[in-house]
Amino acid sequence: MNLSILGIPMDLGAGRRGVDMGPSALRNAHLTRALRDLGHSVTDLGDVRVDLPESVDKLAEGGMVFLESILDACQGTRDRLAALPADTFPLTIGGDHSVSMGTVTGNALRGTPSGARMGLIWVDAHTDYNTPGSSPSGNIHGMPVAHLTGLGDPRLTGLGGGWHVRPEDIVMIGIRSVDPHERDLLREAGIKAYTMKDVDQLGITRIHEETLERLSGTERLHVSFDADALDPSVCPGVGTPVPGGLTYREGHLLMELLSESGRVTSMDIVEVNPILDTRNQTAEVMVGMAASLLGQRIL
């Protein structure tokens, strides 16, 4: 398989500095070598240009933090991904989760100017379904899914030029931290979210089966994997840790099953914060998750 790695070193959407160094941490954890060892052809495309927070105005109109700079980075990400060949598997590495507004859109538009119908598998402790009006912080990394569905600020909802993810084509896994108004928005949208209670009760295998059934009508599947979906004991280097997350094996099992389905066409790894990490543990774990999605097997 032809793999293209693209870094988006951005922490503008988060409330804490450090995830801009996530792409470097993942590369230092031998991401390229791990994927080449699986037999893939890997090209590292470098990084999307991102404004430094010290060089731009923090608050944009409407109270959102660093809106213009985030929009610019997402546009750059979208354009670079949309221009890739159709037979490429893009692996995008962040960066805070607001980068997904560019990655998901760019992968949907790749080879299809009007946008392909895309299933979005959101592996995260958080649903990231706040809007500018519901967000208690104004931090955009808590809003990307809402904007991808067309809900929120028109400058961000317009990244797809009219293309949006259908709410029925989104499945969230590992959820355990949701703001009160965000919960209401999710219910109104009809997005399927598997909380950690569901993981405990149903198990990853059944959740995987139900996810693929729900997304059976989509042309492409994109996995957006936030490192904080895993328990902090597994991934300590994240900006917004929440206890009680996915175990190491639950994460790998989900990636292995998705790999076996043969349906995933692109992936994000986001929210790795080496400032808060222990000896690059989180980056190393997430490299392993990517390897499992891309064909690594125990036997």
Cβ neighbours for 213, distance < 8 A, ≥ 6 positions apart: none
Is 124 among the residues known to form the active site?
yes
SS (H, E, C) 143-186: CHHHHHCCCCCHHHHHHHCCCCCCHHHEEEEEECECCHHHHHHH
Cβ neighbours for 126, distance < 8 A, ≥ 6 positions apart: 142, 175, 177, 178, 226, 228, 240, 242
Is 271 among the residues known to form the active site?
yes
Q: Partners of 269 in the beta sheet?
A: 93, 225
Please pick, among 40, 126, 147, 222, the residue that the annotation labels catalytic: 126
- How far is residue 181's CA from residue 186's CA, in Å, rounded to a whole number? 9
Please pick, among 11, 20, 47, 128, the residue that the annotation labels catalytic: 128
User: Which residue in the block uniquely carries the two structure tokens 């703001």?
Assistant: 179
- How far is residue 77's CA from residue 71's CA, in Å, rounded to a whole number? 10
C-beta atoms surrounding 40 within 10 Å = 18
Please pick, among 228, 268, 277, 284, the residue that the annotation labels catalytic: 228
- How far is residue 34's CA from residue 258's CA, in Å, rounded to a whole number? 18
Is 228 among the residues known to form the active site?
yes
Please pick, among 47, 153, 271, 284, the residue that the annotation labels catalytic: 271
Is 219 among the residues known to form the active site?
no
DSSP state of 120: E
In the numeric block, which tokens belong to residue 106? 């760019």
Is 97 among the residues known to form the active site?
yes
Residues with catalytic annotation? 97, 124, 126, 128, 141, 226, 228, 271
